[in-house]
Amino acid sequence: MLALLDPHDSTAFPDANQALCEPNGLLAVGGDLSVTRLQHAYRNGIFPWFSFGDPILWWSPDPRLVLFPQQVHISRSLNKTLRQQRFTVSFDVAFARVIRSCAAPRDEDGGTWLVPEMITAYERLHQQGLAHSVEVWRGEQLVGGLYGVAIGRVFFGESMFSRASDASKIALVHLCQRLANWEFGVIDCQMQTAHLLRMGAVNVPRTTFLKLLDRFCPLPAQLTDWNKAFEFNDLRR
């Protein structure tokens, strides 16, 4: 049964294991997108996803797609692109531009799931030091990137975009390098995509994912300055 969230209690969520099988992972409706509610949602394996004009829907799909930072797969062609150094990468330099680029319509119908209230909510998280972005530049042009939420040593990936070949992949590889250096345990990729599977992501049961959160979310992040100068090291195996 779909749970209705208490509008006055931003910390109350039903157990993620109570989510529906169809549609996969739908757990609750209502509430708001406050910083406190979003923090508690992610910590408990839950994320918001809804369309413009609809009530806020909360999800926890099973299985869950995850990527372990040390296990990111770099193809030969992507490794060649990285070695050519045609792009530069930054962190937390242009969060607002990244999330709006992720929100740009990609389908013929012009739709987007990143509605204005979602953008505002994640910008608040960024101002609180909880949401972060990776930017990929070609000269002064922003050509790719991604953003997500970090709690403890878990990174909850939200969305990525690319305006140049391999740009979003480059963002993900650099993110994995940084998170590996900081001893992050896992990246939450939420839902399965062929793109992420090719990059090394794997499906795990929701119960396993929740155990990963219990293990890594309480651990303190080693660094908090995502914008600090960063030297990229090769992650090839």
Please spell the DSSP secondary structure of the chain, one letter per residue: -PEEPPTT-TT----GGG--TTTTTEEEE-----HHHHHHHHHTT-EE---TTSPPEEE--SSEEEE-GGG----HHHHHHHHHT-SEEEESSSHHHHHHHHHS--STT---S--HHHHHHHHHHHHTT-EEEEEEEETTEEEEEEEEEEETTEEEEEEEEESSTTHHHHHHHHHHHHHHHTT--EEEEES--HHHHHTT-EEE-HHHHHHHHHHHTTSPPS---TTS---------
Q: What is the pLDDT along the chain (237 residues), one digit of tens a residue?
A: 799 999 899 999 999 999 999 999 999 999 999 999 999 999 999 999 999 889 999 999 999 999 999 999 999 999 999 999 899 999 999 999 999 999 987 654 444 578 999 999 999 999 999 999 999 999 999 999 999 999 999 999 999 999 999 999 999 999 999 999 999 999 999 988 999 999 999 999 999 999 999 999 999 987 657 886 455 544 433
Q: How high is the pLDDT of residue 110? A: 42
Q: How high is the pLDDT of residue 227? A: 80
User: CB within 8 A of 4, min separation 6: which ones?
Assistant: 28, 29, 30
Pairing label, strands 131-138, 154-162: unpaired
At which residue do the structure tokens 């369309």 appear? 51
Q: How high is the pLDDT of residue 1? A: 78
Amino acid symbol at 5: L
Nearest CA among 138, 128, 142 for reference residue 93: 142
Question: Cα(236)–Cα(67) distance, rounded to whole angstroms?
Answer: 15
- CATH numbers and ranges of domains, the chain: 3-62 (3.30.70.3550), 65-216 (3.40.630.70)
Residues in the chain: 237
At which residue do the structure tokens 């992949």 appear? 169
Question: Cα(134)–Cα(145) distance, rounded to whole angstroms?
Answer: 5
Amino acid symbol at 45: G
> Structure pTM?
0.93
